């Protein structure tokens, strides 16, 4: 298409990260007729339900030791590839850039190859993040507040609290000693350029201040985030970006085992029983439960409507309410999350604490109950209590 400006967006294929890029591309395609929009990602993004990341659920609660172990794997979160795989994807990123010849490049911050390439080339680029101000502003706060005021990812510490300094030291030690970062940098400098610097989300503000004059868009805003003395001038708060008519599978990566699911069904039964004693006539509470389940020992995923064997306890616990059609358990929801939340009938949103879940419930004005699963989910749990919109 001759005469059009070209926009190239780099993103990982995980919908939790990619959705903000897809939403932005959608809106730009409607609002800007003089742009040709390209999205560079992995093959799995073409599917409606990408399974590109594997999360091992740790049956452990956060604490000094367990949280420190979580902080120590931050490099693996930023670079989940071997050095050679990283190099191969970097070269493919370079090839796409050469083929598209974009006027502007937009990079989602977990697409590390895109960050590294754009930073190295010094071309016109910016960052578009589904995360919050906190991920980009903490290192520039006065009085070394990064060490004692703002809880680091994985910690689940209340805000603010001085014990966070312990995890700050763990993060610093990890950066100095982690071989994954060093080996990836070595192979880049050997095959690309001796002067190239590895750029990850940690260099955008998680642990170090972002490069000056690099524009960064976040889907948060100051009044729904932690309180900061300084917000970098290069940071633009857009407020939540929600992609219209696009279904997002919230909590795709978390799968419950029979024991966890049974404990939740017990909790729901108690909630329903208590609600019945408090509700006026005709206003009974019902539960719509999307339950992802772990495969069995042979790797077989349970059938959507089959609750036999060790799974039978889940439905047995709620059988009376299921018969009354007050509880529905499904492995997949066809309706968009926003459609459900905006139905005016939802009184509480229970989620794992992902960014999309937080913003969708926030935009719908629904109280939230968060069961944080990993990393920044604990930050969102803190944020919900800080804002007084849930627990």
318 vs 289: CA distance, rounded Å = 12
Least confident of 48-52, 77-81, 96-100, 305-309: 48-52
pLDDT reported for residue 227: 81
pLDDT tier, 326 (very low <50, low <70, confident <90, very high otherwise): confident
Question: What pLDDT, in 10s, does the model give residues 99-122?
Answer: 999 999 999 988 999 999 999 998
Least confident of 205-209, 259-263, 276-280, 314-318: 276-280
29 vs 43: CA distance, rounded Å = 22
| Domain 5-237 listed as CATH 3.40.50 | yes
Mean pLDDT of the chain: 79
Enumerate the domain spans of the chain: 5-237, 258-387
Does residue 308 surpass a pLDDT of 60? yes
Q: How far is CA 71 from CA 63, 162, 199, 214, in A?
A: 11, 17, 18, 26
pLDDT reported for residue 25: 85
pLDDT reported for residue 245: 23
- For residue 256, the 8-state DSSP code is B
Does residue 247 surpass a pLDDT of 50? no
Does residue 283 surpass a pLDDT of 50? yes
382 vs 380: CA distance, rounded Å = 5
Pick the CATH number of 258-387 from 3.30.450, 3.30.2320, 3.40.50, 1.10.3470: 3.40.50
Fold agreement (5-237, 258-387): yes
Whole-prediction pTM: 0.60
pLDDT tier, 327 (very low <50, low <70, confident <90, very high otherwise): confident
pLDDT reported for residue 159: 56
Q: Give the bridge partners for 128, in sequence order.
A: 217
Does residue 246 surpass a pLDDT of 50? no
Is residue 231 within 8 Å of residue 137, measured between CB atoms?
yes
Does residue 48 surpass a pLDDT of 60? no
Q: Which residue has the higher pLDDT, 356 or 90?
A: 90
**Distance from chain centroid for Cα 293:** 20
């Amino acid at each position: 298409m001759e005469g059009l400006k070209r926009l190239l967006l780099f993103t990982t294929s995980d919908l939790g990260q990619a959705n903000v890029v897809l939403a932005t591309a959608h809106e730009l395609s409607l609002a800007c007729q003089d742009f040709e929009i390209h999205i560079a990602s992995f093959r799995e993004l073409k599917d409606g339900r990408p399974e590109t990341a594997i999360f091992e659920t740790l049956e452990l609660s956060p604490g000094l030791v367990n949280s420190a172990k979580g902080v120590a794997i931050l490099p693996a979160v930023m670079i989940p590839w071997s050095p050679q795989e990283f190099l191969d994807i970097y070269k493919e990123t370079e090839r796409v850039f050469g083929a598209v010849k974009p006027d502007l490049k937009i990079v989602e911050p977990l697409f590390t190859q895109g960050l590294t390439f754009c930073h190295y080339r010094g071309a016109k680029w910016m960052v578009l993040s589904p995360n919050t101000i906190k991920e980009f502003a903490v290192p520039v706060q006065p009085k070394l507040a990064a060490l004692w005021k703002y809880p680091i990812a994985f910690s689940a510490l209340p805000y603010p609290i001085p014990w966070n300094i312990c995890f700050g030291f763990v993060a610093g030690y990890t950066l100095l000693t982690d071989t994954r970062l060093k080996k990836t940098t070595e192979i880049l400098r050997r095959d690309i350029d001796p002067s190239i610097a590895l750029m990850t989300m940690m260099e955008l503000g998680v642990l170090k201040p972002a490069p000056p004059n690099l524009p960064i868009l976040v889907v948060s805003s100051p009044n729904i985030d932690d309180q900061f003395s300084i917000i970098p001038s290069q940071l633009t708060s857009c407020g939540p970006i929600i992609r219209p008519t696009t279904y997002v599978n919230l909590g795709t990566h978390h799968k419950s085992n029979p024991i966890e699911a049974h404990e939740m069904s017990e909790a729901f039964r108690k909630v329903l029983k208590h609600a019945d004693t408090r509700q006026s006539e005709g206003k009974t509470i019902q539960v719509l439960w999307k339950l992802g389940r772990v495969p069995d020992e042979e790797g077989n995923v349970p059938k959507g409507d089959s609750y036999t064997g060790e799974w039978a306890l889940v439905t047995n616990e709620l059988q009376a309410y299921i018969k009354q059609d007050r509880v529905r358990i499904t492995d997949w929801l066809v309706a968009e999350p926003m459609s459900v939340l905006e139905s005016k009938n939802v009184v509480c949103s229970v989620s794992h604490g992902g960014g999309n879940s937080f913003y969708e419930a926030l935009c719908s004005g629904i109280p939230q109950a968060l069961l944080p699963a990993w990393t920044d989910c604990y930050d969102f749990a803190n944020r919900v209590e800080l804002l007084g919109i849930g627990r």
